[in-house]
Amino acid sequence: MAALKYAGLEDTDSEEELPPGWEERTTKDGWVYYANHLEEKTQWEHPKSGKRKRVAGDLPYGWEQETDENGQVYFVDHINKRTTYLDPRLAFTVEDNPVKSTTRQRYDGNSTAMEILQGRDLSERVVIITGANSGLGFETAKSLALHGAYVILACRNMSRANEAVQRILEEWHKAKVEAMTLDLASLHSVQHFAEAFKSKNVPLHMLICNAAVFAAPWSLTEDDLEATFQVNHLGHFYLVQLLEDILRRSSPARVVMVSSESHRFSEIKNSSGKLDFSLLSPSKKEFWAMVAYNRSKLCNILFSNELNRHLAPHGVTSNAVHPGNMIYSSIHRNWWVYTLLFTLARPFTKSM
């Protein structure tokens, strides 16, 4: 105790609490060291516990590490527009030789995209997201971009797509985001998009097929196909085929099909149990908007399953996902009845 008192360590409440005159700092590669301002010296070991530590995980989104003219590491918080020499990860340090945790992170209906990606470094990843100017697509694009990925927003409306890009850049000015034209209701547009992307000579690690129309009235595309079927399924099917070679070369890569639980309430077989192609692109007389949407989502799942069987041996996985029931976005905009239903359900469903 006499030695601790002489060293000025006896009046700290915790083994981890620093004595007066000491400061905790980090190196560029995340190792923690301790500065003694009274004696003007530094050391790797904690002055009280003798432990060596390092910070765990990556910086929170919006933060960036810089070095001043004296070689001192400091941190920039772009969200709150401030700088500090204190590493925001110091609250989550681990010992030099930690025991590997056996606890898995668990997520639930309240988890956000930013929470899922916390600590992930996606700086070497290239991502294409269809329909990314609003709703689920935008939240996905923003989350991936703020974690370092190069994200391409593939959208029909370039004005809204460029606005979405600016909103992401306002959160982090170094985000790598770009908008490109893609109209899934035109197979020519799909082909043109694929050619434009290939001309960039970059890999493709994630293709997220998110764009969709819901409860849209019957109409035919320029390719003489029913619009819901082409936009929700066939356009994506063609896009994947055109980009398959890049996905293979970029492995490990993945394709994500945003489907829906509503696929369970559909059928694409006739009374004889055989596939009925006329149900996929029905005439106006046989068209019902909700059924058309459900069938397109079933096609998403069937395609994803077969695509995974086909590409998994080449390092490319495919998954179909259900984003949640009646999430309030702009997808219900085509009919006021659905807008009312989504509004009534909003307090009880997952939000953006």
Q: Which two tokens stand for residue 13?
A: 């409440």
- Rounded to an integer, what distance in angstroms lies between the CA atom of residue 144 and that of residue 176? 10
Q: Which two tokens stand for residue 328?
A: 């309030």
What burial letters (b/e) apply to 177-213, b meaning 16+ CB within 10 Å? bebbebbbbbbebbeebbeebeeeeeebbbbbbbbbb
The percent of the chain in helix, strand and coil, each rounded to the nearest 5, is: 35, 20, 45
Clarify whether 107 is annotated catalytic: no
- Rounded to an integer, what distance in angstroms lies between the CA atom of residue 272 and that of residue 337? 35
- Rounded to an integer, what distance in angstroms lies between the CA atom of residue 195 and that of residue 313? 26
Instruction: Answer whether 315's CB lies under 8 Å from 303's CB.
Output: no
Sign of the four-CA dihedral 10, 13, 16, 17: negative
Instruction: Answer whether 229's CB lies under 8 Å from 280's CB.
Output: yes
Q: Which two tokens stand for residue 238?
A: 């063609």
Q: Bridge partners of 95?
A: 53
pTM: 0.67
Query: Amino acid identity, residue 182?
Result: L
| DSSP element (H, E) containing 292 | helix 289-311
pLDDT value at position 246?
98
CA dihedral 213, 218, 224, 228 (to 10 degrees): 20
Residues ≥6 apart with Cβ < 8 Å to 85: 25, 72, 73, 74, 75
Residues shown for the chain: 352
Q: Bridge partners of 178?
A: 152
- Rounded to an integer, what distance in angstroms lies between the CA atom of residue 29 and that of residue 27? 5
pLDDT value at position 153?
98
| DSSP element (H, E) containing 246 | helix 235-249
Please list the pLDDT of the chain residue by residue as tens digits (352 residues): 444 443 444 444 566 788 888 888 887 777 888 888 888 888 888 888 888 888 877 788 788 888 877 777 888 888 888 888 888 887 767 776 554 444 455 666 667 777 788 778 899 999 999 999 998 899 999 999 999 999 999 999 999 999 999 999 998 999 999 999 999 999 999 999 999 999 999 999 999 999 999 878 899 999 999 999 999 999 999 999 999 999 999 999 999 999 987 667 577 777 677 877 788 888 898 888 888 989 999 999 999 999 999 999 999 999 999 886 556 455 555 555 555 555 665 555 666 5
Q: Catalytic residue among 34, 61, 150, 293, which?
A: 293
The DSSP code sequence of 129-194 is EETTTSHHHHHHHHHHHHTT-EEEEEES-HHHHHHHHHHHHHH-TT-EEEEEE--TT-HHHHHHHH
What burial letters (b/e) apply to 311-344, b meaning 16+ CB within 10 Å? beeeebbbebbebeebbbbebbeeeeebeeebee
Q: Bridge partners of 316?
A: 253
Instruction: Answer whether 215's CB lies under 8 Å from 334's CB.
Output: yes
- Rounded to an integer, what distance in angstroms lies between the CA atom of residue 299 and that of residue 279? 12
- Rounded to an integer, what distance in angstroms lies between the CA atom of residue 29 and that of residue 260? 43
pLDDT value at position 333?
55
